[in-house]
Amino acid sequence: MNAQPALLKSPATQINIQPCNWNTDICLDLIRQLWQLRRAMLEREASLKNVIDQVLPEYQQSARNLVHYLTLRNVDLRPLQDQLAWIGLSSLGRSESHVLANLDKVLGILHHLTGQPWQSKSADEPAGSVSSRELLKRHTSKLLGPAEANRPVRIMVTLPSEAANDYSIVHKLVHAGMDVARINCAHDTPSDWRTMAANVQRAAKAAQRRVKLLMDLGGPKIRTGDLPLQAPVLKLKPGKDELGRVFRPARLRLRPICGTDDLNGVDASIGVWEIWLDRLKVGSNIEFFDARGAKRHLLVVHVDHSGAIAESLQTAYLTPETIFYIDTGHDSRKHSTLVCQIERLPGTLHLHRGEMLRLTKPASATQQPISEREDDDSDLATICCTLPQIFEQVQVGERIWFDDGRIGGVIRSVTPDWLDIEITHARDGGEKLEADKGINLPDSQLNLPALSDKDLEDLSVVAMEADMVGLSFVQKPDDVALLRQHLKRLKRDDMGIVLKIETRRGFENLPELMLAAMASKSAGVMIARGDLAIECGYERLAEVQEEILWCAEAAHMPVIWATQVLESLAKTGLPSRAEISDAGMGVRAECVMLNKGPYIAQAIHTLVDILQRMGGHQDKKRPLLRALQSWGDNDAN
């Protein structure tokens, strides 16, 4: 497949389309242009016969139609579309799923208008308007399972970590309408995944419906490495209104040093000496001087076998050197203890526009310790990168983004062991960069392994538990071939493959990736809009999203509409107006994915309602023209 991208992307025969007036000559000229297009499609199909022959028989028609569509879209069709529309003929604008059949229909009508004979060309056509819908329906059911009777679009939900320990979470998701459960192998453990999978099966059986399981491999995700933990400082801050009046005290959990954190109903937890903790009673007054030397008080409001809860009406800063005193009120002695255990906070870097950031290889991959390098600048903000391979593949002047695009920069210097980056995009007050945040290099031609060592270990679990596997950061056909090779080794070559399109290179190679995936028994495409927006640019996301939808429709391949769908609703319980409209567009895909959140069940119910309503109006990009109820005499459904 290595040589195929150039073939697929080579320009079709150039067509000189000229505007003209309505008469027989117009129709004859349109016939000439359309025949030229038709020949180009069949010639491209013939040139790619070896590629098409590699796909499974059930995908042969889809592969041929995809090649025809790519040929069609290699020409600027706008003048031709205008001429066809002016005559009143069906245009080529909705022909993705049956390109040659649609073109032949237009040709046939033009032949009749000009008095020329026309014979059916169906033998050349891989799919028609009806059979193409059946192909897509069959491929979708094979990958994602059967659809609900009144909702053809499936709903996928990313399972939270708690789903491994709490069956009721999964039961609630299935009951709300989840059709596909997703496990992200970048998080949690294989043991957790097995338990989640078992809970999905149990909940599906209880609901008497099929729920498929997708497991995403982590893939070659580039992330920031660890940072030194911050000094242990705890800020207690009561809730205040706009006038500075306290309406909620700060609540602090006091527990034994070896006790476990229990943050239910409190703002923070610290460890103290147990013998001191035993002296506390409800109503006890704790005095201390905080890290700034300010005198503060805590009032004990609850005591139980595991510790106590105390409240403060003032802001206070605690460190391990803070000393607490119990004010007995009637005894000159005050029992004291050090605050012995405050959890250290994750390290952060505070970055501003114009500053420099040094991105280094992990310590295990560097040629020499950072402290011993001649060019070391100890004042420079420094963080390491999890994938050392990128340092040989990036160039000066290329852009780099951190943490889902919140922080942007330009590479100014490249050495074997580090990159110096000028920060060019950050808010006026600066941005905080933490460990384990994503890094995107949209301008760099990266050649990274499709499957890491961890992915190969995870794949053995995926093969045992899942119905389909998500290939993250897929970029080239060889990545798909490698995954199929390992699935065959694990005797799971029947497993569905989901191509996660989240890099610019993956988007640019999408047709080749889909043809490679057609060698598997079922396949689909996920539009991973989070990383894709960063890679291609936010201003291009809508265009890129449309092109993926069109290309997948031409291949009769199901699409999963993913990332940030109803995100505010899932996280806060309140949707934004924009995300409701965005969710409504999900009807053009075969599956919509929701991410985890405390209000995820509510988000599923809302999405079910939106998809049911919009499903009566839209099929892919084709409006169905259902009778409008809003301005008619009938009551709305």
Residue 177 CA to residue 199 CA, distance in Å, equals: 16
634 part of a folded domain:
no
Q: Tell me the mean pLDDT in the region 539-558.
A: 94
CATH code for the domain of 392? 2.40.33.10
**Model confidence over 305-358: pLDDT tens digits?**
889 999 999 999 999 889 999 977 665 567 788 777 887 777 889 999 999 999
Predicted local confidence at residue 625, as pLDDT: 44
Residue 408 CA to residue 116 CA, distance in Å, equals: 61
> In this predicted model, which residue has the larger pLDDT, 152 or 480?
480
Check whether 117 has a pLDDT greater than 80.
yes
Domain count, the chain: 4
Residue 348 CA to residue 216 CA, distance in Å, equals: 28
**Model confidence over 133-172: pLDDT tens digits?**
999 999 999 999 999 888 989 999 999 999 999 999 999 9
Predicted local confidence at residue 552, as pLDDT: 96
Q: What is the DSSP code string of 86-116?
A: HHT---STT-GGGHHHHHHHHHHHHHHHTT-
Q: Tell me the mean pLDDT in the region 272-288.
A: 91
287 part of a folded domain:
yes
Sign of CA dihedral 47, 51, 54, 59: negative
Q: Which residue has tokens 């609630």? A: 172
* Residue 1 confidence class, pLDDT cut points 50, 70, 90: very low
Residue 314 CA to residue 299 CA, distance in Å, equals: 11
* Residue 477 confidence class, pLDDT cut points 50, 70, 90: very high
Sign of CA dihedral 296, 299, 305, 306: negative
Q: How far is CA 471 from CA 468, 490, 495, 499, 520, in A?
A: 10, 16, 12, 5, 13
The answer on 542 and 454 residing in a single domain is yes
Predicted local confidence at residue 370, as pLDDT: 44
Predicted local confidence at residue 372, as pLDDT: 42
Read off the tokens for 392: 């040989």
The answer on 468 and 570 residing in a single domain is yes
Q: What is the DSSP code string of 322-354?
A: -EEEEE-SS-S--EEEE--B-PPPPPEEEE-TT
Predicted local confidence at residue 538, as pLDDT: 86
The answer on 453 and 308 residing in a single domain is no
Task: Find residue 59's DSSP bridge partners.
Answer: none
Check whether 377 has a pLDDT greater than 70.
no
343 part of a folded domain:
no
Residue 456 CA to residue 489 CA, distance in Å, equals: 11
**Model confidence over 197-252: pLDDT tens digits?**
999 999 999 999 999 999 999 998 899 998 887 778 889 999 988 888 999 999 99
Q: Quickly count: other Cβ atoms within 10 Å of residue 489's Cβ.
A: 13
Phi, psi of 154 (to 5 degrees): -80, 160
Residue 306 CA to residue 311 CA, distance in Å, equals: 17
Largest CA distance in the chain: 115
Q: How far is CA 71 from CA 9, 52, 96, 328, in A?
A: 9, 15, 11, 87
How many CA atoms, within 13 angstroms, populate the side-chain half-sphere of residue 433?
34
Check whether 371 has a pLDDT greater than 60.
no
Check whether 460 has a pLDDT greater than 90.
yes
Dihedral (C-alpha) 211, 217, 223, 229: value to the nearest 10 degrees?
70
pLDDT cut 90: percent of the chain above it: 64
Domain boundary among 440, 461, 496: 440
Q: How many residues does the chain have?
A: 637
The bridge status of strand 246-248 relative to strand 239-240 is antiparallel
228 part of a folded domain:
no
The answer on 549 and 592 residing in a single domain is yes
Residues 6+ apart with CB under 8 A from 411: 394, 395, 396, 397, 398, 399, 400, 419, 420, 421
48 part of a folded domain:
yes
Q: Which residue has tokens 């059709």? A: 179
Check whether 631 has a pLDDT greater than 70.
no
Domain boundary among 314, 338, 362: 338
The answer on 532 and 490 residing in a single domain is yes
Q: What is the DSSP code string of 571-604?
A: HHS---HHHHHHHHHGGGSSEEEE---TTHHHHH
pLDDT cut 70: percent of the chain above it: 89
Check whether 68 has a pLDDT greater than 90.
yes
The answer on 280 and 356 residing in a single domain is no
The answer on 606 and 473 residing in a single domain is yes
Residue 416 CA to residue 277 CA, distance in Å, equals: 54
Q: Quickly count: other Cβ atoms within 10 Å of residue 23's Cβ.
A: 9
Chain Cα centroid distance, residue 170: 21
| Prediction pTM value | 0.80
The answer on 605 and 502 residing in a single domain is yes
The answer on 156 and 77 residing in a single domain is no
The answer on 320 and 395 residing in a single domain is no
How many CA atoms, within 13 angstroms, populate the side-chain half-sphere of residue 252?
25
* CB 375 within 8 Å of CB 212: no
Domain boundary among 84, 107, 127: 127
Q: Tell me the mean pLDDT in the region 373-392.
A: 80
Of the candidates 66, 63, 76, 123, the residue with the CA atom closest to the CA atom of residue 96: 66
Residue 406 CA to residue 418 CA, distance in Å, equals: 22
Read off the tokens for 90: 């069906």
The answer on 458 and 588 residing in a single domain is yes
The answer on 303 and 417 residing in a single domain is no
Residue 599 CA to residue 9 CA, distance in Å, equals: 44
CATH code for the domain of 547? 3.20.20.60
Residues 6+ apart with CB under 8 A from 578: none
626 part of a folded domain:
no
Q: Which domain holds residue 290?
A: 234-338
277 part of a folded domain:
yes
CATH code for the domain of 316? 2.40.33
**Model confidence over 513-538: pLDDT tens digits?**
999 999 999 999 999 998 899 998 88
Check whether 437 has a pLDDT greater than 70.
yes
> In this predicted model, which residue has the larger pLDDT, 77 or 464?
464
633 part of a folded domain:
no
